[in-house]
Amino acid sequence: MNDWFITLIFLWSVLFMGLLTIGGFFMFRKFLKRMPKQDGKSELDWQEYYIKKALPLWNDEAKHLLNELVSPVPELFRQVAKERIAGRISKIALDENAKTITLDHILRGYIIATPKRDHPFMKKKLNQMNIDYAPYEDYFKYADDEKKKFSIFEHSEIVNKEKQS
């Protein structure tokens, strides 16, 4: 009985430490996104700013499409993914002085805000919805990438620099 109890305590300790490590990792990532950049605002501050500013541009059809596009994301992370993608879409629409959010804005923002590791799932979802993403192939290189640490909100500036050179 004593050996069994010690084994149970050991397994519980390993499980507990593993869960704490995983939770700490995600909390640390959220902390880093809340850290102010050179302009005094964090990535999440900019995301909230663009969403609030572009809220009148979102119609019911655009909201429904965004909800459909993020449906493959696990429920636990879906709201975070939706806000990240919506922030990127909103910035694109605001940069272009759009009157409403269109499919073009949604696709560009969706591609850029989706991490490169999730592109196969994203392409599968777009194919299921019969949406042709071929005209947007150039935007895949601007997608969020763990190796290139630039903000997804800097995309417009990066595109302009590439066009000038």
With 0-12 / 13-18 / 19 or more C-beta atoms within 10 angstroms meaning exposed / middle / buried, residue 45 is middle
Instruction: Going residue by residue through the chain, which has 165 residues, state the pLDDT in tens, using 9 for 90 and above.
Output: 688 888 999 999 999 999 999 888 878 777 777 777 777 788 888 889 999 999 999 999 999 999 999 998 889 889 988 998 999 999 989 988 999 999 999 999 898 888 888 888 889 999 999 999 889 888 888 776 655 555 666 666 666 666 666
CA dihedral 132, 135, 138, 141 (to 10 degrees): -10
Where do the H-state alpha helices sit in the chain? 2-34, 43-54, 60-69, 75-95, 103-113, 119-128, 155-164
Pairwise CA distance, residues 142 & 76, whole Å: 26
- DSSP 8-state class, residue 36: -
